[in-house]
Structure 1
Amino acid sequence: MLVLNGRQGHEDEDAEYWLELIESFGGNSPVIVALNKITEHPFDVNRGALQQKFPNIRAFIPTDCAAEIGLDELQATIKQETDRLEFLRTPFPASWLTIKNKLAGMEKNYISYETYRDLCQQDGEADTSAQDSLANCLHSLGIALNYKDDPRLRDTHVLNPHWVTNGIYTLLNASELAETQGEMAADCLDRTLDIQQYPRERHGFLLELMRKFELCFRFADDDSRFLIPDLLDKQQPAAAAEFDLVECLNFCYEYPVLPEGLLPRFIVRTHVLSEHQLRWRTGVILHFEGNRALVKADRADKCVTISVDGPVNSRRRLLAIIRSDFERIHNSFKFTPQELVPVPAHPDVMLPYPDMIVMEQNGLQELPQVINGQIVHLNIRDLLNGVDLEGSRRPDTDLRRRIDTLHLFISYSHQDNALREELETHLKILQRQGLIQTWSDRCILPGDKWATDIDANLNRADIILFLISADFIASQYCYEIEMPQAMARHESGEAVVIPIILRPCDWRNTPFNKLGWLPQNSEPVTTWGDRDAAWLNVERGIKAVIQERKGDRS
C-alpha cells in the first residue's frame, strides 16, 4: 500500500517516484494508493496516467483518519486483494498451525533453533525437514525469522521481527554514529541498545545480520570496529576531481529509480579496495593493481557512473570486479538497469551495452553515431572489448556457460577472513569470465547443524582451495574434517586441491605438502612487498588449473 500526502504541485511526481520504487522491489505486486489527509490538504493525482503506466494499481482511495473518511473502503479493498493472493489457501497441517500459534503467543523476542525443534517435536512435528519447511514458511510470512542457511545466524529463531528492525534502526539513528560518520565500535551497542531487550550475548547476532544485508562491514585491522556506509559523510573528497573522464575507461548503469542504499551496499562489498577517507555516502574511490576507479551515484540522473584510470592494460580487470559486484546487487531487484558504454574520448555519448552485444552477434561491425555534429562510424567490437575482459563475452548460451563453469570451494579459518575477502576480490575476475562459481561458508566454526551444507558444496567442488596459516592448521574443522575429505577427492581425481599459503607457518609436514602451492614461489601472501602482485600470482595459478581441468572435461 502506498500512502501519499498532498504536496502542492508535486503530487504526481511523488506518486511516480514511489510507484517506480515499489515496482523495482515488488515487481507486479498489487498496489493500493491511499490519498491521505484529504480533508486537511485536498489533492488528487492523474489516476488514469498512473494506472496506465503502473497497471498493478488496484485502487485510489481518498482517506482521512481524523475525519474517518475512506477507512471502510480501504479495509474492504485490502481484504479483496489479499483474498486474491497466490498460496493464500495452501493447506496448512494442523500441527503446523498449533506450532505457529504457540510461537506467536510466546512473549520472548527470540529462541534458539534447538528450542524451536523441541517445540515442534512436542506439538506433533517430528520430521526435521518438515520443521525446516515450517521455519521457511514462517520466515516468509514475517511471523518468525530464521536465517538457517547462514552459519553465523541460524541458531537464533526470532519470534518478534520488530525486535530486529527496532534494534538496527536504533543503531542507524544513534547520535554517536552520526558524530563518527558511521564508524562503530562493538561496545557502541552497549551504550545504544536497551540491555533488557538486547542483552550483550545477542549483539553479535545483530551485527552479523547487518553484515548479511550489507549494511556494514568489519575493519580488517580491528574486528571490534565496523563501518556503516549509509552514515558516511555526504561530502565528496577532493580526490574525485582528479579523474579526467575523457582519459578514463568509463561505464554507466541507468535505473528507473535509484534504489535506496545502492552505493552503501556496493561500498560494503568492495571495502577491501577502498580507504576510509575515499568513501562517502554516494560514492567511493577504489584501488586495485595500480588502477583507481571513481564510482558515483547520481540521484537526479538516476544512474551510477564508473571511471577507471591508471595503467591502460589492466583497467578492465578493475572494471570487471566492479561490474561483478553490481550484478550481484542487481540480482536482488525486480528490474534490470540499463548498461551503457560511453564512447572513448566522448564520455557524454553513451551506447546501450546489450544492443551492441546483439549487433555483434548478428555480424554488424560498425555503428554510425552523430558526435559533435559529425557522423562517426564506431567499431562495435572495439567498444565492447574496451569494457569486457577476454572470454567474458561469449556467443554461447547461458546454459552452456553454466555447464562449463567449475565449482570452487574455499576452506579457511575465520581468523583469515580479511585475507579470504582479498582473494575473493581477485576471483571475481574469473567469475566474470564464466570460469568458476565460488563457495565458502564465510566463518569456519565447529558444529553439526550446518555440516551438511559444507559437505554438499565440498563434494560438488571441482577445485578446493586451502587457505593455509597456523590458524588453519590448528582448526579442528578445517584440518580434521574438511581437509581429509578434500584430499580423498583430490587423490581420486574428482577434484583438485590447491593450498594457498597466506601467512608464515610450518606447513612442510602436512598431508598436502607435496601439492602445487600458490603463490608459486611458496612465499606467503602477507610477506610480499606488493600484495596485489601476490594475489595476481595466485589468480593466474588458479586459472591455469581451471584451463587444465576444462581440458580434462572435453
Structure 2
Amino acid sequence: MDDNYQKALSLIQQAKEKNLTELYIHLDLTELPPEIFELENLTELDLSSNQLSSLPDGISKLTDLTKLYLSSNQLSSLPDGISKLTDLTELDLSSNQLSSLPDDISKLTNLTGLYLISNQLSSLPDDISKLTDLTELDLSSNQLSSLPDGISKLTNLTELDLSSNQLSSLPDDISKLTDLTGLYLSSNQLSSLPDGISKLTGLTWLYLSSNQLSSLPDGISKLTGLTGLYLNSNQLSSLPDGISKLTNLTGLYLNSNQLSSLPDGISKLTNLTELDLSSNQLSSLPDGISKLTNLTELYLSSNQLSSLPDGISKLTNLTELYLSSNQLSSLPDGISKLTNLTELDLSSNQLSSLPDGISKLTNLTRLYLSSNQFEVGSEIYELSAQDQIKEILKWQKAQKAGTLQPIHEAKVIFIGESNHGKTHLIELLKEECIKRKITTTHGIERSKVQIGCGDKDIRLNIWDLGGQEFMRSTHQFFFSERSLYVLVTLARRERNELNHWLKLANQLGNKAPVLVVINKIDIDPHDLDRKGLERDYPNIVGFVRTSIYDCKEQKATDSLKLLKNRIKEIVGDKASMPGVFEQRPPDWFTVKEELEKLEEKGTHFITYNEYENLEFIKDLPEEERKSNLKLLSMLGAVVSYVDDPRLIDTNVINPQWIMDGVYAIINDPEVKDKNKGRLHIGDLERILSKKKFPKERHAYLLELMNKFDLCYAAKDQKDVYFIPDLFEDIEPDYEWHGEASIHFRYYYDDFPPDAFMTRFIVEMHQDIIDEKRWRSGVYISNGSCQAKVYQTYSKNYIHIEVIGNKGEGRSYLYTIRESFRKLHEPFPQMQIKQEVLYKGHWLDYLELIELENVNETQYHTKLKERLPVTDILNGYSTSIDRSGTQKHIKIFLASSAELKAEREQFEIFIHRENQQLYKKGIFIELQLWENFIDAMSPTRLQDEYNNVVKHSDIFVSLFFTKVGKFTLEEFKAAFGQFKNTGKPLVYTYFKEATIESGTLNRRDANSVFDFQDKLKELGHFYTVYNNIEGLQLHFKKQLEKIMDKLFLSEPIRL
C-alpha cells in the first residue's frame, strides 16, 4: 500500500466520521479504495488528476451524487453502473482516453453540464438527444467528423463547444438550438456555414477561427446579440456589408485572413473595444475607423500600410496599438493625442524619425521601434518606453544641430582553444613586444588598443576569452553582436573544434564578422581548407597566418603587422562594423569620459549616489542620468542595474572586476573539484581578494551570478549556492515511478546547448527532486508529475521526458517549454528544432502544427501510415496553446525572507492550478519578489518595481512579523495602479501563528500593526491565515471569482 493510497483512505475516513457531502482526492491513484463507496451521502466527488484506468461498479452506489469530476485520468471506458447516478447535474470526463460513450448515458437526464474535452471520441450516441436539461456541452479536442441529428433536441443548451474536431459541415438543424449564447467551432474543417445559423439570435460569442471559410453567409447580420466574433485564421478576402449590423460587438478578430479592404459599414461597430486585423493585405484604412472611439486595442501588424489616416487621433481610448511589419515611413502628428496608450508597436517599418508630439504619450510602458531606419544605437531599443522616446528625440535634436559624434570604438573578441596563443597575440598587438609573463587565461581579460584608421583613431576594446572547456557555457554570455571575432587556431586542428567556435560566433554573434588566425605556423606550416570554411561560414572576413619567430627577443613579426592591418581594415569598414560609426549626442561622451577617468584611477565601482554627484552628471535631469548609465551598460562600458533595488548600490565602472570575481569563484579548486559546484557565501572571504572585493560586495556578485542563471540558492541550506556548470558529469541514480508518457526534445543544429541546460537547471531549481541533478541534466517534479530533462552527448539534443497522466503531463511540459522559450528568446537567429515522439519516430512539432492549420495529413514512409496529426499534437499540447491564444495571468508575489516556506508552497500550489487551467487555455506566470521587505533601500529606483506591478494581473503580498521601511510606499504603487486602471488586483495576507518568545521585538510588532492600520485607511482589507493550506484555499476561491474579470474580452469556462 503506497503513501498516496494511505492518504486517500485517511480522507475517506474523515469524510465518513464528519458525514461530509463533498470529497476531493487528487493523489495519482491507480485504483480507488472500495471504502469510498460507503460514503452514500456524498453529493460532490472530485477524482480528477489521478491515474485511474477504470471505475469500479461500486460507483453506482453513490446515488446522491450531483457532481462527479473524473478529468485527467486514463479512463478508456465507463462502467454500466454510472447510469444509476440519475441525480447528477455535472459530469466532467475531460482528458481521458474515451473512444465512445455508453448508450446508457442517456439516462442521466438531470445533467446540465457534460464535459468531454480531450478524449478520442469519433462519434456520439444518438441517445444523447435525451439529455434535454443540458445547458453546457463541451466536446472540444476530440475526433468528431459529424454530429448526430439528435443534437438539435438539446434546446436548453446555452454553450456548445465543438472546437478542435474534424467537422467539415454543421447539420441544418443546429438552428433549433436557439438558447445558445456561446458556440465554439474553432479548429475544424468548415468551409461554409449553414443558413440556419442566422436563427441563433441569442448568441453572444461565436468562435470560427482556424477553419477554411472563404465567405460568410448574409444571415450572419441577424446575430445582433453578438459581443465577440472570432474569424481569425480563415481564408476570407472580404466581409459582407451586413456585418455593420452587429453593433453590440465588443471584440472582432479577423487576423490571418486575406482581406485587402474593409467595408465602410465597419464604422458602425461603435461598441468595439478590440479589433484585430493583423496578418492581412490591407494597404489603407477607411476614414470611418475614426468613429470606433471605444477601441482600447487595435491590431494592424503584418499588413501593407504605408500611412495612417489622420482620424486615428480620435481613437483616444486606445491603450494598445500594434503596427509592426508594415511600410510606414512617418507617423501623423495626431498620434500625440492617443495619451492613454500603454503599448505601441512600430517595429519593422521604414520610420527614420518620430514626431515631437510623441513625448506626450506619458502612459506608454512598452514601445517597440527596432528594425526601422533610425540611425541610433540598437541598445536604445532596450530602454524603457519613455527613455526610448527621450533618447531618440534628443538624438534628432543633436542631428539638426550638427553635434552628433561617431563612437569610433570596436569590440574585438579573441576566441579559440586554450594554449593556441590568443593572449600572446593580444600582448603583441598592444606593445609590439611581450613585457610580462603570460599564463593561461582563466576566465576573461579585457584590454584597450588605439589604432589609426586613415584620418581617425579607433579604440579596440579587446576581450580575451579563456579556452578551457568547462568555462565555455559561461563565456556565451559575453558573445554579442556589433563585435569582431578573432578565432585563433592551429593548422591541423579537428574540424569539429573549428565548427564549435565558428557556430558560436555565427549564431550568438548574429553573423558578426570573423577573422581566422592560423597561429604558430613556425611549428606547423600547413593551412586550413579556406574555401570550405568560407562556403560554410560566409561571415568569415579573412585569414591571417601568424607566429613568433624569435622567442628570445619576443618581438612582433611581420605576420603580426599583417594581423594588425587586417583588423584595421575590418573595423574601419562601415559595411563590416557599422556600430563603430554610430553617432551619439555630446553628453553621452562626457558621461563616458568621466567614468573612464575613475577607472584609470583604479576605481572598480561606485554607488548610485556617488554617480549622481559626479561633476557633469549632477547637472543632468534625473531621467538622463539613468538613461546614460543604462546605455553605457548595454554597450559593455560599465555594468549597472539601476532598476534593480538589490544591485543599484554597486555600479561597476570596470567590468573586468566582475569577471575576475566570477571566474575566481568558478575556478576555485575547492568549489570546482572538491564540492562540485556547492558554494557557501563564507567561501568568498577565502576565494576573493579582501582589498579588491570588500565583504559588503560579496552579495552583489552572487546576486549578479543568480541574475544571469549561473547559480541558485539552496532550498534548505542557508547561505549555500549551487553552480550547475561545476556539477558532476555523472547522472545520479534515480528510480522513476513509471514509464514516461511524453517525449519531447530540442535539436540545436550542431550547436552545443550546454548553457541552455545549466541555465534551465537554475530556472527550475525549485522543482529539483532531492538534488538529483548533474551538469547535463536534472530530475524535476511539480508535485503531481515528474520530468527528466537532459542533454545528449552524441548529438546536440535536449530531451524532455514527463511522467504523469495526459492532462497534467501536457501542463508540466508547457511549463518546461515556457522556460526554454524564455532562454531561447534572446537568440532568435538560432536554428532550434522541436520534435515529438510517435511510435518510436521523432516528428517535427512545428511542422505538425502547420499541417493541422491547413487540415492536412502526411504519409510517413517508415510507419507506412497517414499521421493522425491532431491526435499526436493533443498528446503534447492543447489546441489553444497551438493556436497562440493561450492566456497568461501574471501574479506578482511579494514577501519577506521569513516566509520562505510559504513562498515555496505557494509556488507549488500555482503549479497544480496550472495543470487544470492549461486545458482551458490559461497559464499562470508567477514572479517572485523574494526579499520584498528586505531589498528596499533609500537609494533604490522604482522603475523595475513599477514596471513589474503595471504588467501584473494580480499582486499578492505576504507578511508575518516584519514590515520594511518602504513597504507602504511599494504597496501604494500597486494599490494606486489598481485604483486607476483596475489592475493589478491586490491581495494582502498576514500570517497569524504562535511566535516563539524573544523572536519578535516591539519595533517590528508596532510596524506591522501600523501598516495594517494604514491599509484600512486606504480602503484595502487584508486577510489573516493560519497555515499554508488556508492561504491556498482562500486564494484559489478568489482566483475562481475573478477569472472572468481578468479576460473581459472572452469568457473563461472553468
TM-score computed with the length of structure 1 as normaliser: 0.84
One-letter code aligned to 1:78: I
From the superposition, tell whether residues 475 and 96 of structure 1 become closer, same or farther in structure 2 (CA, over 3 Å): closer
Q: Which residue of 2 aligns with 1:6?
A: 490
From the superposition, tell whether residues 234 and 254 of structure 1 become closer, same or farther in structure 2 (CA, over 3 Å): same
State whether residues 777 and 791 of structure 2, in contact with CA within 8 Å, keep that contact through their aligned partners in structure 1: yes
SS of the equivalent of 1:239 reads coil
- Identical-residue share of aligned pairs (%): 24
State whether residues 297 and 304 of structure 1, in contact with CA within 8 Å, keep that contact through their aligned partners in structure 2: yes
State whether residues 500 and 517 of structure 1, in contact with CA within 8 Å, keep that contact through their aligned partners in structure 2: yes
Q: Which residue of 2 aligns with 1:60?
A: 543
Q: Which residue of 1 aligns with 2:872?
A: 383
From the superposition, tell whether residues 179 and 505 of structure 1 become closer, same or farther in structure 2 (CA, over 3 Å): same
SS of the equivalent of 2:873 reads helix
Residue pairs, 1:2-401, within 5 angstroms: 2-6=486-490, 8=492, 10-66=493-549, 68=557, 70-83=559-572, 84=574, 85-89=577-581, 90-93=583-586, 95-119=590-614, 121-122=615-616, 125-177=619-671, 178-239=673-734, 242=736, 247-256=740-749, 257-333=751-827, 334-343=829-838, 345-346=839-840, 349-364=841-856, 366-371=857-862, 374-389=863-878, 391-394=880-883
One-letter code aligned to 1:38: I
Name the CA distance, whole Å, in 1 between partners of 2:728 and 2:495.
31
One-letter code aligned to 1:118: N
Per mean C-alpha deviation after superposition, the further-off stretch among 542-551 and 276-285 is 542-551
SS of the equivalent of 2:883 reads coil
Per-residue Cα deviation, 1:275-333 (whole angstroms, up to 9, x for no partner):
35411111111112232111110133101001111344311122111111111111233
Per mean C-alpha deviation after superposition, the further-off stretch among 68-77 and 282-291 is 68-77
Name the CA distance, whole Å, in 2 between partners of 1:500 and 1:173.
44
Per mean C-alpha deviation after superposition, the further-off stretch among 57-66 and 537-546 is 537-546
One-letter code aligned to 1:215: L
One-letter code aligned to 1:250: H
State whether residues 988 and 1022 of structure 2, in contact with CA within 8 Å, keep that contact through their aligned partners in structure 1: no
SS of the equivalent of 2:602 reads coil
State whether residues 186 and 226 of structure 1, in contact with CA within 8 Å, keep that contact through their aligned partners in structure 2: yes
Residue-pair matches, total: 526
Of residues 443, 454, 458, the one that matches 2:945 is: 454
SS of the equivalent of 2:830 reads coil
From the superposition, tell whether residues 16 and 69 of structure 1 become closer, same or farther in structure 2 (CA, over 3 Å): farther
Per-residue Cα deviation, 1:327-366 (whole angstroms, up to 9, x for no partner):
11112334141111111x42xx1111111111111122x3
Of residues 497, 519, 523, the one that matches 2:985 is: 497
Per mean C-alpha deviation after superposition, the further-off stretch among 161-170 and 502-511 is 502-511
SS of the equivalent of 2:578 reads coil
Per-residue Cα deviation, 1:136-156 (whole angstroms, up to 9, x for no partner):
333233332212232211221
Name the CA distance, whole Å, in 2 between partners of 1:221 and 1:503.
21
One-letter code aligned to 2:821: E
SS of the equivalent of 1:116 reads helix
Instruction: Report how far residue 99 of structure 1 moved.
Output: 1.6
State whether residues 110 and 157 of structure 1, in contact with CA within 8 Å, keep that contact through their aligned partners in structure 2: yes
Name the CA distance, whole Å, in 2 between partners of 1:136 and 1:438.
27
Instruction: Report how far residue 442 of structure 1 moved.
Output: 4.7
State whether residues 711 and 724 of structure 2, in contact with CA within 8 Å, keep that contact through their aligned partners in structure 1: yes
Note the residue ranges of structure 2 that are not aligned, 5 or more in a row.
1-484, 551-556, 995-1007
Instruction: Report how far residue 66 of structure 1 moved.
Output: 4.2
Note the residue ranges of structure 1 that are not aligned, 5 or more in a row.
529-533
From the superposition, tell whether residues 74 and 137 of structure 1 become closer, same or farther in structure 2 (CA, over 3 Å): farther
One-letter code aligned to 1:159: I
Return the index of the structure with the highest Cα Rg: 2
State whether residues 419 and 502 of structure 1, in contact with CA within 8 Å, keep that contact through their aligned partners in structure 2: no
State whether residues 293 and 306 of structure 1, in contact with CA within 8 Å, keep that contact through their aligned partners in structure 2: yes
Q: Which residue of 1 aligns with 2:970?
A: 482
SS of the equivalent of 2:810 reads helix
One-letter code aligned to 1:447: S
State whether residues 411 and 465 of structure 1, in contact with CA within 8 Å, keep that contact through their aligned partners in structure 2: yes
Name the CA distance, whole Å, in 1 between partners of 2:497 and 2:487.
11
From the superposition, tell whether residues 407 and 309 of structure 1 become closer, same or farther in structure 2 (CA, over 3 Å): closer
Per mean C-alpha deviation after superposition, the further-off stretch among 106-115 and 208-217 is 106-115
One-letter code aligned to 1:388: S
From the superposition, tell whether residues 164 and 378 of structure 1 become closer, same or farther in structure 2 (CA, over 3 Å): same
Name the CA distance, whole Å, in 2 between partners of 1:228 and 1:341.
30
One-letter code aligned to 2:568: K
State whether residues 11 and 44 of structure 1, in contact with CA within 8 Å, keep that contact through their aligned partners in structure 2: no
More helix by share: 1
SS of the equivalent of 1:226 reads strand
Instruction: Report how far residue 238 of structure 1 moved.
Output: 2.1
Name the CA distance, whole Å, in 2 between partners of 1:535 and 1:248.
29
Per-residue Cα deviation, 1:106-128 (whole angstroms, up to 9, x for no partner):
21221112112211x44675233
Instruction: Report how far residue 455 of structure 1 moved.
Output: 3.0
Instruction: Report how far residue 218 of structure 1 moved.
Output: 0.8
State whether residues 892 and 929 of structure 2, in contact with CA within 8 Å, keep that contact through their aligned partners in structure 1: no
Per-residue Cα deviation, 1:9-34 (whole angstroms, up to 9, x for no partner):
x4422211211122221111111111
State whether residues 835 and 845 of structure 2, in contact with CA within 8 Å, keep that contact through their aligned partners in structure 1: yes
Which structure ranks higher in relative contact order (CA pairs < 8 Å, sequence separation ≥ 6)? 1
State whether residues 408 and 436 of structure 1, in contact with CA within 8 Å, keep that contact through their aligned partners in structure 2: yes
Per-residue Cα deviation, 1:489-528 (whole angstroms, up to 9, x for no partner):
556671353537585459997748986979xxx6632x58
Per-residue Cα deviation, 1:240-280 (whole angstroms, up to 9, x for no partner):
6x4876x5311000002123322221111111111354111
Name the CA distance, whole Å, in 2 between partners of 1:537 and 1:45.
68
One-letter code aligned to 1:143: A
From the superposition, tell whether residues 230 and 456 of structure 1 become closer, same or farther in structure 2 (CA, over 3 Å): closer
Name the CA distance, whole Å, in 2 between partners of 1:350 and 1:523.
50
Instruction: Report how far residue 236 of structure 1 moved.
Output: 0.8
SS of the equivalent of 1:142 reads coil
Name the CA distance, whole Å, in 2 between partners of 1:535 and 1:52.
59
Name the CA distance, whole Å, in 2 between partners of 1:491 and 1:128.
27
Name the CA distance, whole Å, in 2 between partners of 1:3 and 1:536.
58
From the superposition, tell whether residues 463 and 135 of structure 1 become closer, same or farther in structure 2 (CA, over 3 Å): same
State whether residues 317 and 389 of structure 1, in contact with CA within 8 Å, keep that contact through their aligned partners in structure 2: no
